[in-house]
Structure 1
Amino acid sequence: MFFAGRSEDFESLLGGINESCNSAPPVLIGGDDVARLAADADRRGHYPGIPYDFLDFTLGSAHCDGTSELYAELSRLFPEECAKVPNSSLDGHAALGFDAVKLYVNAVKQLREEAAQMPLTPPAVWHAISGVHGDGALDGASGIISFGGEVDRQVPLDKLLSVQRIDRTGRPAQAGFCGRVGGRKQAAWCPALEPEEG
């Protein structure tokens, strides 16, 4: 069963499954909103016997003690908050937001370096973003961001999509991913990666 609603409603679904068919729960997969539930150890712990998967736009299960630029900065800026959740996973929304800002900053920087006299307008920045590909691709907290050299591309090429699993241990674990992230290979069940244009 694929669940595409809000995380609060997913908890209601888990409650119903827990009451009605706890001994033989259906196979569940949820959209990325379920990541917010999975990131909260207390909420996640209410249904320890119900395994489920959910989609995430990061590799998931990141922690404040992670070594990435994003999580190192979170630890530096918000040490009290990170101390509150030492055993908790963070959802991928922070990574997506971090990468979006980093993408815009890089585009503006590129414009300033290559065309300092050009006014910073939305179309100019959009065009600069389309230049993020190949050797200039952004290796972000949410995977490789590349627009493949296509000016009119609205979404990154082969954007990371991962499947996280909550099993009876109660912690999110990577079940597989499709897309580009560092030098790692995607799962065998994924469609082939799109070739980048020169």
Structure 2
Amino acid sequence: MSIYTQPHTSWTHRLTRMMVRPLVGTRVTPNHLTTARLVTGLASCAAFAVGDATWTVWGGVIWLVSCLLDRADGELARLGNSSSPFGHLYDTVCDLAVNALMFLAIGIGLRTSWLGEAGPLLGIVASAGVLAASILSAKLEAAGAVETKAYVGILGFDFDDALYLFAPAAWFGLFPYILIGAAIGGPFFAILTAVRLRAARAESRAG
């Protein structure tokens, strides 16, 4: 039995699948949930950018809801057989925007922490790195260079389930360390994915 998580089988997928099942056949569409994900994602970013402890805690709560909605729209589309090219594009653009802005918002909010003016700069680096890594990963998957995802999860967790951890990180004051890690990890994965994509394209041309 493989330890790697197969597509749409993670614990978060299973949880949201149960949550949205009652919505199948109703007027609620996957695009409605994607819009709710976008609104809650932007709201959490706004809360993080304030830099106040109370706002950060509430931002973490809203962020957790936003992450669940991110899973829920796809699950509703699959359960209701209502997937569409536009819906997939809308979901992708919203995810890219919210995830990138989140790191920038955290950096802005940390300008009053011990990071000082380095906070916003680290936020920019992390945001750019994560955005680039996400776009390159999508290109790697579209090129057919990987069987499922560019980075697969293990033990029932997807690679991007790590985003859920930003909620407790907000509650327990761990954002400075998370941001430093993202400012290093984001560009690293962007470069790694670019190298993998280049190798895949070279192999495709050679074949």
TM above 0.5, yes or no, is no
Q: Which one has the largest radius of gyration?
A: 1
Q: Give the TM-score normalised by the residue count of structure 1.
A: 0.29
Higher strand share: 1
Higher relative contact order (CA 8 A, sep 6+): 2
Q: Give the TM-score normalised by the residue count of structure 2.
A: 0.28
